[in-house]
Structure 1
Amino acid sequence: MSSSLRIRILVSGLVGVVVATLAAVVIPAGPASAHGNVTGPASRNYGCYERWGSKFQDPAMATEDPMCWQAWQANPSAMWNWNGLFREGVAGNHQAAIPDGQLCSAGRTESGRYNAMDTVGDWKAASVGNNFNVRLFDGALHGADYIRVYVTKPGFNPVTTALKWSDLNLVSQIGNTPAAQWQTANGGVQIDVPVALSGRTGRAMVYTIWQASHLDQSYYFCSDVNFSGGSTTPPVTTPPATTPPVTTPPVTTPPVTTPPVTTPPVTTPPPATGACSATYAVGSTWSGGFQGDVTVKAGTSAIKGWTVKLTYPGSQTVQQGWNATVSASGTTVTAANASYNGALSAGATTNFGFIGSGTSSTPAVTCTATV
């Protein structure tokens, strides 16, 4: 055998060994860039990826973070692919699609990839106050038809109890919000959904449903939190002392019914240049609070900006707002457009919302435009 032939055989053998060796090494890929997840307070699988993604084989995880350890052992892909926790074609009937005890795995979606998220135990919990934001990251710029945030009822213990739908209270939500209205972040966009509670302490779970806008695709996220209390109790508990004015709608119903009277001048005749109208709706209510949603519509001419005033008959106060700069003085809430949604073409609409404290009631609404 010639020396050149022996060299070729030797090199060929070495290449085969190298290929075989590489084939035996499983190197986890980086997380997928599409879709999204709740990054604060971190969902269960995003938190495990964030804490251990760079050292997922570290045996210290077993004692320092045992719930993440069992999740990594069950299916590492659930952490590397932390943004695939969704279902398709639910048509908004989330409770029918996801059985009790399987809320964190979205009903054992993706052939059971995320089943370990349902495991009951002492998951790492983020410390939050009674006022906090749920931050949702969207890497594919889907935007949202809506985002709903639930918190478990007082007394629920996630360390010992599997999560059921009946354990949850809806505490905040936002409606249709295109990705263009979200904040640019990390190659995608993110949005904060404000939550305002009262008197909560101890362990709880936050459950978030994100209905993406690009198709009927619903995402589900479990986040573990530890309420450290907060300063929101006084403003939330003051309304009971002032509820009598709120219970006098029979006396104040004329102002409440005046919006239909004030809106026709905006909608029936051809509006003056720069005119706008605003429509108020209640997104949701809970004990001591509510969410207000307002749709702003330009008249027959384009506008450069808008200001909406809502005058309540009672003693409602505003906690937080989005898609507008929201402030309150007495019983009047004033909202001015954000930098990205002030300019509207003729007949175009945009929306904003806010969290209020007190008992929900219908305000008188006016809209003023700038041209």
Structure 2
Amino acid sequence: MSTVLRRRPTALAGSLLTIGAIIALLLTTALANSASAHGAVVNPGYRAHSCWERWGAEFQNPRMATEDPMCWQAWQADPQAMWNWNGLFREGVAGNHQGAIPDGQLCSGGRTQNGRYKALDTVGAWKTASVANSFRLKFFDQASHGADYMRVYVTKQGFNALTTPLGWNDLELAGQIGNTPASQWDKDTGGVSIQIPVNAPGRTGRHIVYTVWQASHLDQSYYLCSDVDFGGGPTTPPTTAPPTTAPPTTPPPTTAPPTTAPPTTAPPTTPPPAGACTATYRVTTTWNGGFQGEVDVTAGASAIKGWTVNWTYSGGQQVSQAWNATLASSGSTVTARNVNYNGALAAGGKTTFGFLASGSGTSPTPVCTATL
């Protein structure tokens, strides 16, 4: 009678099977989540995205504990938060961001998703991306929701990100866009993306860039912390011509961030004639020595292929930065032209561009010329 000897599995084999099962489960879940994914800041990447980008392929590598300890503690706290880096949002905030998100919990959206992202609030030496004082922040929207508005804040000079929990009063508004449908964003792999000009003069060293994205989908608000070091080169090349005037020397206001969407202006009651366009200029924010403005461009009774808006200042104001348009100045006259994604407008269609300028806020009369 013969005896068949069966070899018992070793502990190592069992561990490898367990690890393989975990990886398979995480990858399956990540793929499932991507089908209904949303969006996030990808350059300079916010904390969860950066950790996923650096360690997603080897999230169990023990080197992370010594080489990237802040990401290590976040992966240990909840790996799903890293795999689901584009799902950090709250619902039903109704624009009251400061009321919904307590100080010290800004990076996790107020411990949203049952605290899944709470490790992102941990204070410490998160790895930074080098940026210049004027740079472009790239936001990726996988679900193509678009934005009701997007606001980008930067911590004030003197804030110590290594020892201090982030609070609302530590932030200054450094860039924003208004209502921008996903159709006006750039096509990107797996979704759409948009670049937002950020201007943070006077900053040096380590800082936190805090982005609030109000998605045009139900009432979903996203809250994203990116760690940067001022003094490096730009994170992305500009997509429009740089301004020909010097940037403002006075920083944005130091008051608490606004909690309501940027003001809007009702469209003209009398539509422009066919083949024409109109422009509506407004000042949205002012501070000592500078202001921020927006211009609505509305097509007439027929579609247009492009537009140009001109206006003339009377008090020495100088435009330093713009988004959703290419701006150039000649003396006191400013010329704004559409960029590649917002020139073509359907009949009665509207787009909005914004800018920062030095001097006192004023309201010149803009003139719009359409390209048919």
- Determine if the TM-score, normalized by the shorter chain, exceeds 0.5: yes
Q: CA-to-partner distance for each residue in 1:284-338, whole Å, 9 max, x for gaps?
A: 3455543321111123344333211121223333333333222221222111223
SS of equivalent residue, structure 2 residue 195: strand
Q: 1:159 aligns with which of 159, 162, 168?
A: 162
**Equivalent position of 1:216 in the other structure:** 219
Structure 1 contact 199–230 (Cα < 8 Å) conserved = no
Structure 2 contact 306–345 (Cα < 8 Å) conserved = yes
**Equivalent position of 1:64 in the other structure:** 67
Moved more, 280-289 or 167-176: 280-289
SS of equivalent residue, structure 2 residue 148: strand
Equivalent-residue separation in structure 1 for 2:132 and 2:19 (angstroms): 49
Q: 1:345 to 1:230 in 2, by over 3 A?
A: closer
- The answer to whether the aligner puts 1:237 opposite 2:233 as a matched pair is no
Give the letter aligned to residue 320 of structure 1.
Answer: Q
Equivalent-residue separation in structure 2 for 1:56 and 1:209 (angstroms): 28
Equivalent-residue separation in structure 2 for 1:76 and 1:23 (angstroms): 14
**Equivalent position of 1:350 in the other structure:** 351
Equivalent-residue separation in structure 2 for 1:86 and 1:201 (angstroms): 30
**Equivalent position of 1:40 in the other structure:** 43
**Equivalent position of 1:178 in the other structure:** 181
- The answer to whether the aligner puts 1:282 opposite 2:278 as a matched pair is no
Q: 1:336 to 1:367 in 2, by over 3 A?
A: same
Give the letter aligned to residue 249 of structure 2.
Answer: T
Aligned residue pairs: how many?
334
Structure 1 contact 276–369 (Cα < 8 Å) conserved = yes
Q: 1:82 to 1:333 in 2, by over 3 A?
A: same
Deviation of the 1:272 alpha carbon: 4.2
Equivalent-residue separation in structure 2 for 1:121 and 1:108 (angstroms): 18
Structure 1 contact 173–291 (Cα < 8 Å) conserved = no
Equivalent-residue separation in structure 1 for 2:285 and 2:76 (angstroms): 40
Structure 2 contact 145–182 (Cα < 8 Å) conserved = yes
Structure 2 contact 137–198 (Cα < 8 Å) conserved = yes
Structure 1 contact 295–350 (Cα < 8 Å) conserved = yes
Deviation of the 1:97 alpha carbon: 0.8
Q: 1:340 to 1:132 in 2, by over 3 A?
A: closer
Q: CA-to-partner distance for each residue in 1:148-202, whole Å, 9 max, x for gaps?
A: 0011111111100001111111111100111111111121111111011222111
SS of equivalent residue, structure 1 residue 367: strand
Q: 1:271 to 1:128 in 2, by over 3 A?
A: closer
SS of equivalent residue, structure 1 residue 25: helix
- The answer to whether the aligner puts 1:74 opposite 2:77 as a matched pair is yes
Q: 1:139 to 1:301 in 2, by over 3 A?
A: closer
Deviation of the 1:230 alpha carbon: 8.2
Structure 2 contact 272–299 (Cα < 8 Å) conserved = no
Moved more, 51-60 or 84-93: 51-60
**Equivalent position of 2:365 in the other structure:** 364
**Equivalent position of 1:293 in the other structure:** 294
**Equivalent position of 2:121 in the other structure:** 118
**Equivalent position of 2:307 in the other structure:** 306
Q: How does 1:189-204 map to 2 (within 5 A)?
A: 189-204=192-207
Structure with larger Rg = 1
Q: 1:94 aligns with which of 71, 87, 97?
A: 97
SS of equivalent residue, structure 1 residue 61: helix
Equivalent-residue separation in structure 1 for 2:124 and 2:191 (angstroms): 32
Equivalent-residue separation in structure 2 for 1:85 and 1:293 (angstroms): 29
TM-score, with structure 2 as normaliser: 0.81
Q: 1:25 aligns with which of 14, 21, 25?
A: 21
Identity %: 64
Structure 1 contact 326–333 (Cα < 8 Å) conserved = yes
Any unmatched runs of 5+ in structure 1?
A: 1-9, 11-16, 240-265
Any unmatched runs of 5+ in structure 2?
A: 1-5, 7-12, 235-242, 252-267
Equivalent-residue separation in structure 1 for 2:246 and 2:316 (angstroms): 14
SS of equivalent residue, structure 1 residue 77: helix
- The answer to whether the aligner puts 1:128 opposite 2:131 as a matched pair is yes
Equivalent-residue separation in structure 1 for 2:80 and 2:287 (angstroms): 38
Give the letter aligned to residue 69 of structure 1.
Answer: W
Structure 2 contact 130–233 (Cα < 8 Å) conserved = no
Q: How does 1:330-345 map to 2 (within 5 A)?
A: 330-345=331-346
Equivalent-residue separation in structure 2 for 1:88 and 1:238 (angstroms): 36
Q: CA-to-partner distance for each residue in 1:191-249, whole Å, 9 max, x for gaps?
A: 1110112221111111000000021100110011111178999642399xxxxxxxxxx
Deviation of the 1:355 alpha carbon: 3.0
Moved more, 114-123 or 178-187: 178-187
Structure 2 contact 213–222 (Cα < 8 Å) conserved = yes
Deviation of the 1:360 alpha carbon: 3.0
Structure 1 contact 135–190 (Cα < 8 Å) conserved = yes
SS of equivalent residue, structure 1 residue 48: helix
**Equivalent position of 2:239 in the other structure:** none
Q: CA RMSD in A?
A: 3.1
Structure 1 contact 173–284 (Cα < 8 Å) conserved = no
